Amino acid sequence: MRTMQYFAYVLDHKLAIAASAFVLFIFYRIYTYLTHPLRSFPGPFFCRLTNLPYSTWFFSGRRDFYILSLHERYGPVIRIAPNELSFNTANSWKDIYGFRPDHRPFIKSEFYEGAASYDNKVSGVGTVRDPAKHAKMRKYLSYGFSAKALAEQEVLVVENVELLIRQMRERGVRDGEVMDSEHWLRMATLDIMGDLAFGKSFDALKNGGQHPSVRFMHEAIRQMKVIDTMRRFPYAGKLFALFFARTLYKLLQGNRMHEQFSLQTVRDRLANPDPRPDILTHLQHSYDPDLPFASDIQLAAYAAEFLHAGADTSSTTINTVLNFVLRSPSLYMRLTTEIRTAFLTYASINNQQASKLPLLRSVILEAMRIYPPTPLGLPRLVPEGGDSVDGFWIVGGVTVSTNAVAASLSPKNFPDPYTFKPERWDKEGKEKGMDILNASNPFSLGARGCLGQNLAWMEMNLIICMIFWSFDLELVNTEMDLHRDSKMDSLWEKPPLFVRITERQ
């Protein structure tokens, strides 16, 4: 009887109860606003109260440009969420991601839990949060990315780039087709990373389109904003999972299908060993089903992560080089001359010599600055007890990051930040000291810095040299603005870049 009376009371007073709950929520938010340890850090008012602005930016596809604008308004450190700070300085890169004696490491935040694989059973070397597990994984994987391994892998990279050159010659030169370099460069780097990470090409260049598994991978990347938002709003996330289970299943289905493809490919390779000099060969030599970081599922997670991390980022930088170099006739002539003088024949192009070309290196560094291949700030947790970042004391448990876009496009770090100036990176530019070069860290730094950065440099060196040696190029859609017309999730969603190709004169 009392239960019935209670429910009757609730129904009769539901409006008053709802209003009371809302008032209590507002008072709670005001209390946390006034007492939160981050209350002294600047930022938009609503970012201090709720994660809603951040999630809105994420879904808009322009998150990092919003954060850039906030840094321009508020300064080097801003509060972008109730318990999260963003930095844009060179010192913050070192303090958050680098090694500091007598300081505990800033471990990866819960954001990376959304990237775990196979029903959260395993994580890749780039997403595992435990520093001890990461150290074991990195040691296990390191030989596959050593200088010796890299030299052996060059022949596989060249084979795929030669297929790209053939497609450019057949479609662009013979058929007169204006080619979308963004599309074809992405196909090339996908084939390269498929060849190295899975032991077989995806044949994207041959077919002119993505392998279904790659499409699944991109769907998995897009789901990160959904998972991040569900984590930031746990109660709403649970309701979403409850009432929209089918929608959530569809969002996650692409990731599951990519995982199944990765696991089956790795198992096929383990059952039929191949001595070809790819990354998987080095891993299968150390395969041990009893070791958690060397099981077949774990190897599949590694391979999928290499594909995800290595393909899109390299093609993004090469595409950025084309975009800006082709807009400057003088720079185009200088780079072409450097490459064609260094290599008298097409067959003589090699990574060792290409890596010594000063203008090529400066052009690539400037491309990674002006359009960072990984745009987002990589979130870390301040260790228990608190620590300082760029002179600011922050309590433990706060999420911090240095936003790559905000740091690289800040006029305080790089005068004329939207102007493509490779000379920033040459000897004279460094001596002038106008630019804070350490504010650009496209491969991150420290113990969690990119394991495959030398492989990425080899890809970029070879592809750029082989293209500029072989062809004369002309940008067609000059009205396209790479910053204005791009969107991003965890990586960039880039507009087409149309190029007219003719045989070199």
Q: Are the beta carbons of 380 and 106 closer than 8 angstroms?
A: yes
Q: Are the beta carbons of 396 and 79 closer than 8 angstroms?
A: no
Q: Are the beta carbons of 68 and 80 closer than 8 angstroms?
A: no
Q: Give the other-Cβ count within 10 Å of 33's Cβ.
A: 13
Bridge partner residues of 313 (DSSP) = none
Q: CA 238 from chain center: how many Å? A: 28
Backbone CA torsion sign across 92, 98, 100, 104 = positive
Q: Are the beta carbons of 166 and 172 closer than 8 angstroms?
A: no
Q: Are strands 84-87 and 77-81 parallel, antiparallel or unpaired?
A: antiparallel
Q: Give the other-Cβ count within 10 Å of 119's Cβ.
A: 8
Helices (H), 198-244: 204-207, 212-222, 224-232, 234-243
Task: Report the candidate in 202, 195, 227 with the shortest Cα–Cα distance to residue 490.
Answer: 227
The number of helices, as runs of H, and strands, as runs of E, in the chain is: 22, 12
Residue whose entry in the numeric block shows the structure tokens 């089903």: 289
Dist. CA 3–CA 289, nearest whole Å: 57
431: buried, middle or exposed (CB in 10 Å: 19+, 13-18, 0-12)?
Answer: exposed
* Per-residue three-class SS string for 320-335: HHHHHHCCCHHHHHHH
Question: Is 465 annotated to bind ligand?
Answer: no
Dist. CA 413–CA 196, nearest whole Å: 37
Dist. CA 364–CA 465, nearest whole Å: 12
H/E element holding 488?
Answer: strand 487-488
Dist. CA 348–CA 396, nearest whole Å: 54
Q: Residues marked as binding for heme?
A: 450
Q: Residues marked as binding?
A: 450
